[in-house]
Structure 1
Amino acid sequence: MAETGHGALSASRERGAHTANGLLMLLVGFVAICVGLFGMLALAGGAPAGLGFVLVGGLGFFLIAPGFYMLQPNQAAAILLFGSYRGTDRAEGLRWVLPWMGRTKLAVRANNIISDKLKVNDLRGNPIEIAAQLVWRVTDTAQALFDVDDYRSFVRVQIESGLRAIGSRYAYDDVAHGEVTLRGNHDVVNTELRAELIARLAVAGITVDECALTHLAYAPEIAGAMLRRQQAEAVVSARTKLVEGAVGMVQLALEQLSERGVVELDDERRAMMVSNLMVVLCGDRDAQPIVNTGTLYQ
């Protein structure tokens, strides 16, 4: 990593490493062994030239043998030369590199993690508990290894920071105003959380394939009060719908009575009928009829 003029470190970038097929080098090592054995047999037969074959075969074997390493599918190895990054090998199978070059393996598979429950204040200052699950993977091995100290710990810390940022950005719930809320707009919140985490983890060469909230609730100290508030809001909303429907039904009844000439209603009778119909339609219990044997005004 090169240092900039302001003292900040520039981001590392992954590049391909110059490595060899391990099976081919295994064949070369076998040839080196055969050369060494041939030299030993020559020395045993009294041929001084056999010493050269022994030296060549032995040197070749001891140079080739330490350079082997194996990569599984979705595994990579960063190649280092005396601490200097020389590239990343992503080819699976038996591989070989010069023995004085170091190899640091890391997985580039998808990882699944569920965060701890965090207590966060939402947009309105209410304490809530929130947790998330996400699927992440390493996309740039050089950044993951050299730009952060421990990329797995870095992921856990950034999940907490991202959750706190999203949790404080929205209210837990808002029935009255129809705003975007944590409880009522899961798709929007999950999309913003993923974008937030991708931006935070980019410095470590990590991307987020999927994330979603797994736990969302009011903190225990206010859960009871908020439950009563939600119940009250639900009752008010239901009553509002009920009154709207009752007013429409009363209006329809009066219009049809007037159009068909069933009864002539003055203002006082009309008011009385409206009152009775609203009581019947909006009451919690069935209305008990009272038979009036006199006139309407008695």
Structure 2
Amino acid sequence: MQKDTGKHNGIASSSVRNIENKNLLCFNGYSVIGAMLIGLTGLGIGCLVSDFSLPFLGAMGILAIVGSLLPSGFFINGPNEAKVVEFFGEYIGTSFGMGLRFTVPFSTKRSVSLKIESTNTSVMKVNDADGNPIEIAAAVVWRIVSPAKACFNIENYQSFISVQGETALRELAGSYPYDSNSTVSLRQNSTEISQKLCAILQSRVGIVGIEVEDARISHLAYSSEIAQVMLRRQQAKAISEARVYIVKNAVSMVDEVLSHLEAKHGIDLTDDRKLKFVSNLLVALVSESETQPVISVE
């Protein structure tokens, strides 16, 4: 008795990962049915002509036996569907044609959908590149491009894409900050983040014949325990940036007013009066409340 070593012609069994689609040798099912009917009719006519001689009766019996085996070779393929066919445990090919088809009888046929599908990962709590806990989820759009790999390299590709989506999302979240003005961030650079997530996912699921069409973050927020703190931080940052913008423009306006007074009206203020004028004008421009005029009686 020969011992099965898990190798075939010196190739390890793990080489199934390199399996490629092969075109299945199959025929149009209606043509096969037509050929069977023509053959049966011709044999029947031959039997009548030969007055049911023994040779023709034997041929009729052989044809009946063969005809009883042929139905197992018929199968139906729908639009955007493929059939992966095995014959006694050996992969013999994949059929992409639509309609009624015929191939080797007693073969095992597995249907694989080629339609575009989407998977939503669950909301996960992870740490971003700055160590802040965030909640994140993604929507992945994918399709099968190699039915043979999807059948032979993975038991359940639906759950596989879901698990790999969550793993890739964790890796992505740990590589970028939630928010940043100087570098790529999860919140502000959606296009770059989507491309990176697609690349990570494709490197993980390509081995099972899946192509990632699109992957985008569908949920992104700070974790509940730091959400209020980060909200106040964002508000303080926004207020600070707004004040810098207001002061910068106010100084520019004051400078333009002084230049206009000197150039157009010939008003040349002393340093003290210029300092007082600048101070009063900046207060009027920067103040958040309405300014009240003060009349000097000096």
3-state DSSP class of the match of 1:169?
coil
Is the alpha carbon distance of 1:218 and 1:40 closer, same or farther for their aligned partners in structure 2, counting shifts above 3 Å? farther
Distance 1:61 1:157 in 2: 47
Distance 2:269 2:7 in 1: 92
Query: 1:265 Cα deviation (Å)?
Result: 2.0
What are the residue-to-residue correspondences of 1:78-93 with 2, within 5 Å?
78-93=84-99
Distance 1:46 1:288 in 2: 124
One-letter amino acid of the structure 2 residue matched with residue 165 of structure 1: E
Query: 1:65 Cα deviation (Å)?
Result: 1.4
Provide, for residues 23-42 of structure 1, a one-character-per-residue CA deviation record: whole Å limited to 9, x for no partner. 11112333455467669979
Task: Give the corresponding residue for 1:195.
Answer: 199
Is 1:179 matched up with 2:183?
A: yes
Distance 2:140 2:47 in 1: 61
Which residue of the other structure, out of 254, 260, 268, is the alignment partner of 2:258? 254
Is 1:284 matched up with 2:288?
A: yes
Query: 1:101 Cα deviation (Å)?
Result: 2.0
Distance 2:25 2:11 in 1: 31
One-letter amino acid of the structure 2 residue matched with residue 196 of structure 1: I
Provide, for residues 30-78 of structure 1, a one-character-per-residue CA deviation record: whole Å limited to 9, x for no partner. 34554676699799x7754553243033122112111110000111111
Q: Which runs of 4+ in 1 moved over 3 A?
A: 1-10, 31-43, 45-50, 260-264
5+ residue gaps, structure 1, are none
What are the residue-to-residue correspondences of 1:232-243 with 2, within 5 Å?
232-243=236-247
Distance 2:157 2:259 in 1: 73
5+ residue gaps, structure 2, are 1-5
Is 1:66 matched up with 2:72?
A: yes
TM-score norm. by structure 2 comes to 0.89
Provide, for residues 101-149 of structure 1, a one-character-per-residue CA deviation record: whole Å limited to 9, x for no partner. 2211111111122221111211111111111112211111121111122
User: Cα RMSD between the aligned structures?
Assistant: 2.5
Equivalences, count: 291
Is the alpha carbon distance of 1:173 and 1:2 closer, same or farther for their aligned partners in structure 2, counting shifts above 3 Å? farther
Distance 1:131 1:61 in 2: 55
Query: 1:81 Cα deviation (Å)?
Result: 1.8
TM-score norm. by structure 1 comes to 0.89
Task: Give the corresponding residue for 2:150.
Answer: 144
Which residue of the other structure, out of 120, 132, 154, is the alignment partner of 1:114? 120
Which range moved further: 280-289 or 149-158? 149-158
Which residue of the other structure, out of 275, 283, 289, is the alignment partner of 1:271? 275
Distance 2:46 2:36 in 1: 15
Is the alpha carbon distance of 1:105 and 1:5 closer, same or farther for their aligned partners in structure 2, counting shifts above 3 Å? closer
- Overall identity of the aligned pairs, in %: 33
Is 1:23 matched up with 2:30?
A: yes
